[in-house]
A and B are shown apart, each in its own frame.
Chain A
Amino acid sequence: MNAVEARDLFRFYASPEGTSVALQGLTLDVAVGELLVVFGPSGSGKSTLLRILAGLDRPSAGSVSVFGRDLRTLRGRALVEYRSRALGYADQHYARALAPELTVRELVALRLALLGVERAEREHVADSLLERVGLLDRAGALPAELSGGQQQRVAICAALAHRPRLFIADEPTGELDAVNATQIYTLIGELSREVGATTLVVSHDPGSASVANRVVQIRDGRVSAEDGAAVVNRGGWVRIPEELLGGASRAHLDRIPEGVVLRVRERAAAPEQVQPVVPRGDVVVRTVGLTKSYGDALVFHDLSLELESGRLSAVTGRSGSGKSTLLHLLAGLDLPTAGEVHVLDAPISQLDATQRALVRREHIGLVTQGADLVPFLTAQESVELALAMRGVPTTSAAQALAAVGLEELAHQRVERLSMGERQRVAVARALAARPKLLLADEPTARLDEANAGAVGVLFAELAATTGAAIVCATHDPVLIEHARAEVPLGTLAA
């Protein structure tokens, strides 16, 4: 018997704008004790699959069972019992998962406490786990006093403390840098095996495959590939990778003795060679002796840099190194403790809030991680809003959404989009506005490799064609690869 057996799962969501499909015939088995990593682009149905496996949602059609329990019919006490004892869960938003009022020890022991385990026993378990992840000395701390990586380690300990039979993790490194991400995957691999849990990890990060027994790809609500091989779904549906199609809109399949050959008849025209229209080299951003601290905590000190127009620059560094903080200072959303920031010769760090906002409106585009988008606006309205703020005609909104592959979702409200799709809306918005300085905070954090690559290409093109200075705070190697300059934080600071 498999730990997880999902057959032809469908899940539809009705909304005023129409019905959206999250899963359309997904079939997946996970063996007992297996560690399965699920890759897939944003909106492919990964999170929906996890919600169904967690008993928080039910499929519109198809069957799903976990350890022989049919989740479609699991209700009331049995469902609670399943969730509280058999299941462990770690979310990408560790801050949201951890109760801010409880200490680290209490958080790890919370599930045991809710199950009625005696205090001594649960604290012993919590301390053992915290020691295992090197956080025993912080057992009395509150989550807000820990770094992102530490918080996620606590969240994983909390999810595994009761030794669940099924452990599921939804992009557990989505908000962490590469070093921390590697540590977390290693931890998940080790701990889940120690507690004997069957593990299902949803991720964009190729690094997660290193701890997996098996890797599957999900596209359009179906399993499209497994360990690199395309999967044939019911009715003969096969997902052909984009790189094989090369942008073609028609293909032919021919049988040969060895199997089947795919022949692409029409290829899309090759993209025109991008010609730089603005001379490179103008300094768009200049910082002098930039220092930022929060209370006693110093983020960076005496940071001086210059960022030029027509370039994609990547700000890199570990979690907590100040990447987001630097972007906020450059955008005038925050003020430095010391030093100066000049944007297009405007001393933005010395301006008042209104003047900074006007500089932002005039020259700066900011790509957030997508969580802050106004939820009740449609994707197109979000882009139009950004254009309207700048007094730019809103006609280019649809084009910008198409550039990030969201033309079909243009009239869907943001709150109905997946996190990855929201992030693409944020990118589209920045593209449409054509700012002189584009600041992007982890713009590919929730995107699969293909989409991340596409964003990298888009940014590079934008920099080249408009002469914009594009600064990305990222730990994504795919994006870093497209960058012409890298600003590694933690080394520049004096």
Chain B
Amino acid sequence: METAAAAGRRGRREHAVRQRLVVPVRYALRRLRVNWPRTLIVALGIAVGAAVLAMTAVGSAAVQDRAVQRALAQLQPSDRAIQAVWSGVPGQSNFDYAQLNRIARRATEPILGQKPFGVLVFRQATWGGAFVNLGAVDGLSRWLDLRSGRLPRRCTPSNCELIQIGGAPAAPKLPFLHVVGRATFRAGAPLAAYFGAGGGKLPPILLADGVVPFDRTPLPDASLIARTYGWIIPVAPRSIHDWELASLGTRLDRAQSKLEQKSDIFTIAAPTDTIASIRATSRVAAERLLILGGDAAVLLLGFAVLASTRLRRDHRDVRQRLIWSGARRSQILLVAATEVLVLTIVASLVGWAAGTGAGALLAHHLGSPGGLVVVHSIFTLRALEIGILLAAVTAAAMLAALRVDAVTFGGLRITVADVAALGALAAILLALARGKADATALQGSSGTGVYVLLLPGLVLFVLAVAAARLLAPALRLLELVARRATPPVRVALLSLARVPGEVLLTVVFFVLSVGIAVFAIAYRGTLVQGEREQARYAVPAPYVLSEDLGKLVTIQQAPLPARYRATQVDRESGYVTGNHGRDFTLLALPARSLASIDGWRSDFSSQSPAELGRLLQPATAPSLRGIRLPAAARKLTLPFTTTGDHVGLTAIVENRRGDFTPLELGEHGPGAHAPTVRLPPEARGGLIIALRLSFPVIAAYVAGHREAETSLSVNDASTGTLRLGRAFASWFGTNGITPDGRAFHFVVNNAADSILRPHQPLENELVPVVVTPALARAAGPSGILPLHVEDSVITAKIVATTRYFPSIDGDAVVTDLPTWLTAANTVEPGVATASELWLDARPPPGLPLDLASQRARVRELTSDPLARGAIALLLITALVGLALAAVGLLLTVVGDLREERGSLRDLEAQGATPAELRLHVLLRAAVVGVLGLVGGTAAGAIVGALVVAVVTVTAGAENALPPLTLAFDGKLVLLVLAALVLSSAVAATATARRLR
């Protein structure tokens, strides 16, 4: 049994152990309190780094959310809803509507935390003599645009007002139903799945406001009529956020399960696949911002190490003092650790708070709810973990820099920074081994992207340490310069040459901060330039008109006034066969217009667009041959005689608009004929380029049936002879036509039309083309490439290659328009026409064509919140980098004033004037500054090039087309750095004024 004395001894021992821990902590806190001005600048640096990190975290979440909202806005209205649906006949169900309503609402409300609105729709039926779509919607008026009358009041069982949508006026003759107005559905109303658009040939829709009261109206035999009940939660932009999407699937499953427990007729419908895809895309936008986060983290650590070295001398004194006071090593460590930890924690908290605030403002600027974004980005377990980890790493780095001396390995001094740089280098090699990070890779990656995106910071750090390593021997050369210098300058130079340690660390930090700033400026410039390039690439002329597939009016048919100078372009899809079979886009445009094409970049091809144009330009512009129709002719009469079977005849006329008019001449049996057709205006004065002989329609029908009803293939055909006038003497035929003087023996069937035409200028000639390298490889060494376009095969000769060509995504074939049209219409007359018009001036409004505007595309790209967010963050990062560089330089001056005070006092005692003393201090800072500026600019440019090469994502987080190229705006960088130099010089000089 323990005696009281023993217990007392043990208590004293425990107390002593506690005291040994408490005393160093108290001492450290006292030091912090008394010496706070000395540590303020350190805390400031850490706070700024933490603030950038926090802002990046919030900004990243905001950008991701904004990307989700953008994608949601682009969804079809029918996809923008989550709904529970019940279809059936109430009479056969165990539940009445009230019960179904309760079940559905309980299940669906938790999905998004929103109350659904109810919908009821009867199958088309006759009510009170009117054949209508009858139904009800909760809160109906918000989905309607009133056209006449008024909106219905909320329905009651005895008096239910209805509004009609579409169709002929209809009014059920039931005393409690009253139609009070007409309306249309508002755009985006999620009701199309229930009611369609209404109108047209469909029966009219009659809707009441309020499902529950409508369900209680005394509709005759209503319980026996099938209907659908729906409970809809609209997924409008801003109704759901990125952070809610992750668990959406689970919540939907849970809701489905709840509903199925009650009735298996219930189904849940939601655009889950679309939402999953949206999430993946939005992640790209967010992860790219990690570049900045990575930079900020590296900057933070760099500053921490730099700042610690500045406190190192002070801590050496403390250590010495404590050693003489008999402190244990653990107690000395505890003092340093407490100071560093408290400093780091307080500064980090302040920084995170400031960064969070700034991030919330940024989120608000992007149109996201700042508070919610903060809650879901900063107040999360992951963010907490990252924050704690970073604070711990920062504190550890500071502590290491404070306490760990360099170790010597085989004559080589290795410092904490060296070890960290080696670690960073290993991480870089690992990341590079994992390959590029385009938008798809980032979507698909679960972590790879993070490695890649952290690259810039790591590379900068390695470059900075490497620069410092190389700098040490270079600084020794200053001894030679020092010999001839005035005494204060000599002392300054010798101090750099002989005691380079802290100077090198300052240079490392300066290279780091300037490098990050330069990188941010360069990358921002790259993204901004990329936006312009993407717009010009996508729309290679100020305005591009193309056929509106909804209106089916060709560019030739659209009435573009003659004053507009337009370049005609043909765009086709095609493919090449063989082992290297690939799809391509063919672009035919006048060869001479290549020289002035917009969106071209010199890195696309080794040849300029003008040179490519010259290679494509034919010696003489080819054109189709044929029989010219008189301009005044209103009718065309084609006399001919035929023998044998019936045959259909069509004249293909190249009209004055530039496209083709087929003139049906009818089907004719044996005998002499002179069919006459009216010439449409555009065909007058046109050129008959071919006659098409076709299998008669009836014969084709019969043949088709015979083929279908037998197991044998029946190649039924019309055969005979066609005699034409003198004008057709030199014509020849394809696909079963054999010329015989002025007569043509024909065999036509269902398989293909037969063509009768004159010899064309490019008959059997190769079409010169410029292609992408992959297609050139497919052609092989001969350079001859059969192009499959539409149903024709046109053989081309490759004259040059280009990696990209404006407006084409993927493999490209570029050729001269007249050559192309002549060649294509030779093979298949009347098929190839220009499909686009490229204009310099805005076309008149009202054209039934699709209009793409380069300026509008630029506006669209630059106004994209994602792009704006990314570019704004880059700007902020650049400013923070520059500010920290200035602070670092100031820290150098302040540190020198404190740590060099002995030397300065000595110089002063020897008669150095205040100006000379200031020169001494400022010269050191200037050397650091110049080395840092040069190193930082180079490092920033290198990292910028690396990032642009590795992260091929645009400002708007899409794959870059054309690929981004580094836009190193030398003038801007010089301007910014000059501002930095000026401000630093002013601050440093002002600080050095203490030397009076």
* B326 with A358: CB separation less than 8 A: no
Inter-chain CA distance A359–B908, complex, in Å, is: 12
Within 8 Å CB of B916, what residues of A?
357
CB distance from A491 to the nearest CB of B (A): 28
Instruction: Return the CB mask of B865-907 against A: 1 if under 8 Å, else 0.
Output: 0000000000000000000000000000000000000110111
Q: Which residues of A contact B17 (CB under 8 A)?
A: 116
Residues from chain B with a CB closer than 8 A to the CB of A376 are: 494-495, 498-499
What's the least CB distance linking B337 to chain A, in Å? 16
Is residue A252 contacting chain B, with contact meaning CB distance below 8 A? no
Max chain A CB contacts within 10 Å: which of B19, B23, B907, B910? B910
**Cβ-defined partner of A368 (8 Å) among B322, B499, B909, B912:** B909
A87 and chain B: residue at smallest CB distance:
B326
For residue B903, which residue of chain A has the nearest CB? A374
Contact A360 B911 (CB under 8 A): yes
Q: A374-B491, A374-B906 are in contact. Are A84 and B15 (CB under 8 A)?
A: no
B906 touches A114 (CB 8 A): no
In the complex, which residues 56-101 of chain A have their Cβ closer than 8 Å to any Cβ of chain B? 56, 80, 83-85, 87, 89, 91, 96-101
A115 to B329 CA separation, bound complex (whole angstroms)? 13
Q: Contact: B27 with A117, CB < 8 Å? A: no
Chain A residues within an 8 Å CB radius of B35: 101
Report yes or no: A56 in contact with B323, Cβ–Cβ below 8 A: yes
- In Å, the complex CA distance between A98 and B495 comes to 29
B343 CB, min distance to chain A CBs, angstroms:
15
Q: Which of A56, A83, A381, A389 has most chain B Cβ within 10 Å?
A: A389
Check: B913 CB closer than 8 A to any chain A CB. yes
Judge whether A375 and B902 touch: CB under 8 Å: yes
CB-nearest residue of chain A to B317: A96
Once bound together, how far apart are the Cα atoms of A89 and B325, in whole Å?
Answer: 8
Which B residues lie within 8 Å of A333 (CB)? 908-909
A74 to chain B, nearest CB (A): 14
Report if B634 contacts A (CB, 8 A): no
The reply to whether the CB of A371 lies closer than 8 angstroms to some CB of chain B is: yes
A116 touches B499 (CB 8 A): no
* A158 proximal to B (CB < 8 A): yes
Q: Which residues of A contact B499 (CB under 8 A)?
A: 376
Min Cβ gap A49→B in Å is 16
Cα A319 to Cα B677 with chains together (Å): 128
Is there a chain A Cβ closer than 8 Å to B859's Cβ? no
Residues of A within 8 A of B906 (CB): 368, 372-374
B324 touches A97 (CB 8 A): yes
Chain B residues with CB under 8 Å of A102's CB are 27, 30
Partner of A358, one of B15, B331, B911: B911
Whether a CB of chain A sits under 8 angstroms from the CB of B20 is yes
User: Does A377 contact B494, Cβ atoms closer than 8 Å?
Assistant: yes
Interface flags, A102-126, vs B, CB<8A=1, else 0: 1000000011011111100000000
Taking a contact as CB atoms closer than 8 A, the residue among A159, A354, A385 that contacts B910 in the complex is A385
- Residues of chain A contacted by B12 (CB below 8 angstroms): 118
Instruction: Determine the chain A residues whose CB is within 8 A of the CB of B322 once the complex forms.
Output: 114
**Is A353's CB under 8 angstroms from B913's CB?**
yes
For A113, give its contact among B19, B318, B908 (CB under 8 Å): B19
Contact (Cβ within 8 A) B19 A80: no
Contact assessment for B326 and A115 in the assembled complex, using a CB-CB cutoff below 8 Å: yes
Inter-chain CA distance A97–B317, complex, in Å, is 9
Q: How far is the CA of A389 from the CA of B903 in the complex (A)?
A: 14
Please give the distance in Å from A304's CB to the nearest CB on chain B.
25
Judge whether A388 is part of the interface by a CB distance below 8 angstroms.
yes
B: number of interface residues (CB 8 Å): 50
A84 touches B910 (CB 8 A): no
User: In the bound complex, do residue B328 and residue A388 qualify as a contact, i.e. CB atoms below 8 Å apart?
Assistant: no
A102-B27, A116-B20 known; A388 and B324 CB under 8 Å? no
Cβ contact within 8 Å between A390 and B911: yes
Verify if A361 is at the interface (C-beta below 8 Å from B): yes
Please report which residues of chain A, range 360-405, place their CB below 8 angstroms from some CB of chain B when the two chains form the complex: 360-362, 364, 366, 368, 371-377, 381, 385-386, 388-390
Q: Does B24 reach chain A (CB closer than 8 Å)?
A: yes
Say whether, besides A99-B321, A368-B906, A372-B905, A115 and B494 are in contact (CB < 8 Å): no
Whether the Cβ atoms of B903 and A357 lie closer than 8 Å is no
Nearest CB in chain B: distance from A100 CB, A:
8
Cβ of A162 within 8 Å of any chain B Cβ, yes or no, is yes
Size class of the contact patch on chain A: 35 or more
The answer to whether B311 has its CB under 8 Å from any CB of chain A is no
Q: How far is the CA of A443 from the CA of B318 in the complex (A)?
A: 29
Residue A331 at the B interface, CB < 8 A? yes
Measured CB to CB, the closest approach of chain A to B23, in angstroms, equals 4
A375 to B906, CA, bound (A): 11
Given contacts A357-B912, A372-B903, contact A114 B327 (CB under 8 A): yes
Interface residues of B in 469-519 (CB under 8 A from A): 486-487, 490-491, 494-495, 498-499
Given the complex, which residues of A lie within 8 Å of B31, measured CB to CB? 99, 101
Give bound CA distance, A362 to B326, whole Å: 49
Interfacial chain A residues near B549, Cβ < 8 Å: none
Q: Mark B2-35, 1 if CB is under 8 A from A, else 0.
A: 0000000000100111111001100100110011
Chain A residue nearest to B26 in the complex (CB): A113
Residue of A nearest to B34 (CB): A101
CB distance from B419 to the nearest CB of A (A): 25
Known: A114-B23, A389-B487. A83 touches B326 (CB 8 A): yes
Contacting residues of chain A (152-179) with chain B, CB-CB under 8 angstroms: 158-159, 162
Report the separation of the CA atoms of residues A117 and B19 in the bound assembly, to the nearest whole angstrom. 7
| Nearest CB of chain B from residue A82's CB, rounded to whole Å | 10
Interface residues in B767-810 (C-beta closer than 8 Å to A): none
Q: How far is the CB of A429 from chain B (nearest CB, A)?
A: 8
Which residue of chain B has the shortest Cβ distance to A142 in the bound complex? B34
Residues of B within 8 A of A96 (CB): 317, 320-321
Chain A CB within 8 A of B996 CB: yes
- Docked Cα-Cα span, A341 to B985, in Å, equals 36
- Interfacial chain B residues near A100, Cβ < 8 Å: 34
Interface string of B303-340 (1 = CB under 8 A from A): 00000000000000110111111111101000000000
Contact between B495 and A114, CB atoms less than 8 A apart? no
A162 to B325, CA, bound (A): 10
**From A331, which residue of chain B is reached at the shortest CB distance?**
B909
Contact B494 A80 (CB under 8 A): no
Q: A15 to B524, alpha carbons, bound, how many Å?
A: 50
Q: In the complex, what residues of A have CB within 8 A of residue B18's CB?
A: 116
Q: Who on chain B is nearest to A364 by CB?
A: B911
Chain B residues near A381: list those with CB within 8 A: 494
* B739 CB-CB contact with A under 8 Å: no
- A375:B903 contact, CB within 8 angstroms: yes
Bound together, the chains give a CA A101 to CA B28 distance in angstroms of: 10
For A368, the chain B residues whose CB sits under 8 A away are: 905-906, 909
A101 and B30 contact, CB distance less than 8 A: yes
* Cβ–Cβ contact A158 & B908, under 8 A: no
Interface residue B915 (Cβ < 8 Å from any Cβ of A) = yes
> B914 at the A/B interface (Cβ < 8 Å)?
yes
A79 to chain B, nearest CB (A): 9
Name the residue among A362, A368, A385 with the largest chain B CB count within 10 angstroms.
A385
| A89 touching B324 in the complex, CB below 8 Å, given contacts A368-B906, A372-B903, A376-B495 | yes
B490: chain A residues at CB < 8 Å are 385, 388
**Bound form: Cα–Cα A381–B494 in Å:** 11
A98 to B324 CA separation, bound complex (whole angstroms): 10
Question: Once the chains bind, are B491 and A111 in contact (CB under 8 Å)?
Answer: no
A148 to chain B, nearest CB (A): 18
In angstroms, Cα B908 to Cα A331, docked, is 10
Mind listing 16 A-B residue pairs with CB under 8 Å?
A84-B326, A89-B324, A97-B324, A98-B321, A102-B27, A110-B325, A114-B331, A116-B15, A116-B19, A331-B909, A360-B909, A368-B906, A371-B902, A372-B905, A374-B903, A374-B907
Known: A96-B321, A110-B325. 6 other contacts (CB 8 A): A83-B323, A97-B321, A101-B27, A102-B30, A366-B909, A388-B486
Chain A positions within 8 Å of B, measured between CB atoms, are 56, 80, 83-85, 87, 89, 91, 96-102, 110-111, 113-118, 158-159, 162, 331, 333, 353-354, 357-362, 364, 366, 368, 371-377, 381, 385-386, 388-390
Closest 3 CB pairs of A and B: A361-B911, A116-B16, A84-B326
